[in-house]
Amino acid sequence: APATPSVLSTRGLTKSFGGVHAVRDVSVGFLEGKVNGLIGPNGSGKTTFFNMVTGMIKPDSGEVMQGERSITRWAPHRIARLGIGRSFQLCRVFPRLTVLENLLVAVRPTSLASALLGAHHAPTVARAREILARVGIEHLEHAEARDISYGQQKLLELGGVLMADPRIIMLDEPAGGVNPALIERIATLIRELNAEGRTFIVVEHNMDLVMNLCDHIVVFDRGRPIAAGVPAEIQSDPAVLEAYLGV
Ligand code: ADP
C-alpha cells in the first residue's frame, strides 16, 4: 500500500532565540486524516515548532509545506485560510465576553465590534450555537467566559477553532489543567472530529491520553525529532525513555 501522504511537513526547520537552539533542522511529516501526536520534555521545542508552522514566528531557515506547496513565512491569517486551525497552551478566550460572543468574535476579529454592539449576523449565530452544542457547552451560552471552568474554556477555545471549519487542527496541550471528566470529553470530541476527516496534530503531556488518542507520534528532544512511530513503538523506544528520564 502507498504511504499515507504528509498533509503538513517541514524540511530543515530551524529557530534560535539568542544562543538557544529551540528547533534545530527539523524535517517531519504529519499524516492526513490521522491524529498525530507531538511530544517531548519541557523546552524541547514543541511550541516554537507550532508557532512556525502556523506563521506566528518566522523560522531562521527551513521550509513548512502543506502537501507540495511551501507556506513558509506566510502570515498567520493566510495559513488559517488554508484550513489550518490551532489552539494555545494557555487557553485564549475573551474573559468578559459571553461564551456565545467568544465564538462570534472567533470568526474574524472585526466582528468584535458587532458582537459588542449586539449586531450579530444570524447565520453566524446559528452556526455558533451548533458548535456550542457540538462541544457540549450550549447551556453556558450566556455565561461570561471567565465564569466557566478551565476545561470548559478549553472546549470554548476549540469551538472557536471549529468556527473556521479547519481541515487540520493543531492543539497545544488540550488536556493541560483540565479535570479528568472533561479530558475524556475532549478526547471523545477529537476522535469524532477526526472521524469526519479532520487531521489533528496534538502537543500533550498526558501520556495516557497521547497513547490512547494518537495514531502516530513524533518525539522531540532538545529541538530535534528523536523518534516517530505508532504508540507501541514510541513506548518501547529507548531514546524516548532516555529523553524523558535523562538516564
Ligand atoms: P516546549 O514547547 O517543548 O516546552 P518551547 O518551544 O517552548 O518548548 O521552547 C524551546 C526552547 O526555546 C526553550 O529553551 C525555551 O526557553 C526557548 N524559547 C522559546 N521561546 C522563546 C523566546 N521567545 N525567547 C527566548 N527563548 C525562547
Q: Profile the chain (247 residues) by mean pLDDT over runs of 10 residues.
A: 74 96 97 96 95 96 95 94 85 88 77 61 87 95 95 92 94 91 93 96 94 96 96 94 80
Q: What's residue 244's pLDDT?
A: 86
Q: How far is CA 182 from CA 105, 175, 213, in A?
A: 24, 8, 15
Instruction: Tell whether ligand 1 has an atom less than 6 A from the beta carbon of residue 57.
Output: no
Q: What's residue 1's pLDDT?
A: 45
- Ligand 1 atom 5: the closest Cα is on which residue? 45
**Which residue spans within the chain are E strands per DSSP?**
6-17, 20-26, 29-31, 35-39, 61-66, 69-70, 84-86, 168-172, 199-203, 216-221, 224-229
Q: Of all atoms in ligand 1, which is nearest to the CA of residue 220?
A: 3
The pTM of the full predicted model, rounded to 2 decimals, is: 0.92
Report CA(48)–ligand 1 centroid distance (Å): 6
Q: What's residue 221's pLDDT?
A: 96
Q: What's residue 246's pLDDT?
A: 72
Q: What's residue 106's pLDDT?
A: 77
Report CA(20)–ligand 1 centroid distance (Å): 8
- Please choose, from the candidates 44, 47, 89, 45, the residue with its C-alpha nearest in 3D space to the C-alpha of residue 244: 44
Report CA(22)–ligand 1 centroid distance (Å): 6
- Please choose, from the candidates 190, 126, 182, the residue with its C-alpha nearest in 3D space to the C-alpha of residue 149: 182
Q: Of all atoms in ligand 1, which is nearest to the CA of residue 223?
A: 10
- C-alpha 168/C-alpha 239 separation (Å) is 29
Q: What's residue 113's pLDDT?
A: 61
Q: Give the cell for residue 228.
A: 516517530
* Ligand 1 pocket test, candidate residues 15, 16, 17, most atoms within 8 A of CB: 17
